[in-house]
Amino acid sequence: MWTLRQRVNALFDHDLPSNLGARLISGFVGLLIVVNVFSVVLESVESLRERHFETFWWIEQVSTAVFTVEYLLRVWSAPDRVSAKFRAPFAGRLRYVTQPFALVDLIAILPAILGMLGADDLRVLRLLRLLRMLKLTRHSTAFTMVWQVFREEAQSIGAVLFILVITLIMSGSIMYMLESEAQPDVFTSIPAAIWWALVTLTTVGYGDMVPVTVAGKVFGGFVAIVGVCTLALFSGLLTVSFMDQLRLRREQYRSLLRAGMATGQMQSRDAEAMEQLGTDMGVPRREAEAIVDQALAGGPCPHCGQTMPHSAEAAK
């Protein structure tokens, strides 16, 4: 028999199997975040703010109340999470509130806390309210996969960024040496030239700093080519890692499905639950449905071609 705290945790712990209550809460909070962000954006228009002040005020109050209750419930139920590192009643909760997602939840209610403390800088409060968009990362499988990609490829990404920083400094220094005499008011220092290198390497090219000497133009073209290659390397690294994560989740999903079918307890009424599990793991809905259908029929997996074990209960 589950305790109240365990039932609450089942609504918020994404490491547990998804249930209807968790999906409804996730959808409601996600919708509230979108409404809140649109409210902050529209509120910056003075005419709209004066005309619909009360509406914007109520949206902010309701959003803050919901986000505060959600945050407190997550912290209260943290010891019942699947992860064992949160088991201790006090230390576990303290460890939970320092997690990235918990910090994002805290940021969502920070504007109200600052308001109660007397903060009146609307620009800062508006920025903090816009940061509530980060809460959407908790409710999106795609964002979770992207975060996993950054964690898994942290060393590779760090190496690329290190190369980019070295290239920026060297390019800025060389361009300063080539252009400072011809344009002393434009390339005033190496940091100013590094700004030119940054917008050139990222292929933005604002045009506020342009080389005029022959040597500067030749070197500028070289830097632009290096920038294209660097961005291609970085995007390729992320793309390959993202596809590897998706492939890994598909394999994990097929393994779970095979294990369920091998026990002989998988029935056709469990198909919807298995499809939802696939969606929660990041497997496309149609592919999850196809894998489950083939598994129930004992046919080949539509993704890898291997034969799925047939359960005697599947026909029931």
| Residue ranges of domains in the chain | 4-139, 154-242, 244-315
**Count of all residues that appear for the chain in the document:** 316
DSSP for residue 264: T
Give the separation between CA 275 and CA 281, rounded to whole angstroms: 10
Bridge partners (DSSP) listed for residue 307? 300
User: Superfamily for 4-139?
Assistant: Voltage-gated potassium channels. Chain C (1.20.120.350)
Please list the pLDDT of the chain residue by residue as tens digits (316 residues): 788 898 898 888 877 777 788 888 888 988 998 898 898 889 888 899 889 999 988 998 898 899 999 999 999 999 998 888 888 888 999 999 998 888 888 888 887 777 766 666 566 677 777 778 778 777 666 677 777 788 888 888 888 889 889 999 999 999 999 999 999 999 999 999 999 999 999 888 888 899 999 999 999 999 999 988 888 888 888 888 888 877 777 777 677 666 655 655 555 555 556 666 666 666 666 666 666 666 666 544 544 555 445 444 443 3
Give the separation between CA 278 and CA 285, rounded to whole angstroms: 7
Contact between 136 and 91 (Cβ < 8 Å):
no
Q: According to CATH, what is the number of the domain 154-242?
A: 1.10.287.70
Give the separation between CA 40 and CA 36, rounded to whole angstroms: 6
Give the separation between CA 134 and CA 201, rounded to whole angstroms: 28
Give the separation between CA 80 and CA 4, rounded to whole angstroms: 11
Give the separation between CA 247 and CA 233, rounded to whole angstroms: 21
**Whole-model pTM above 0.95?**
no
Q: Which helix (H) or strand (E) holds 224?
A: helix 214-262
Q: Is 193 strand, coil or helix?
A: helix
Contact between 103 and 112 (Cβ < 8 Å):
no
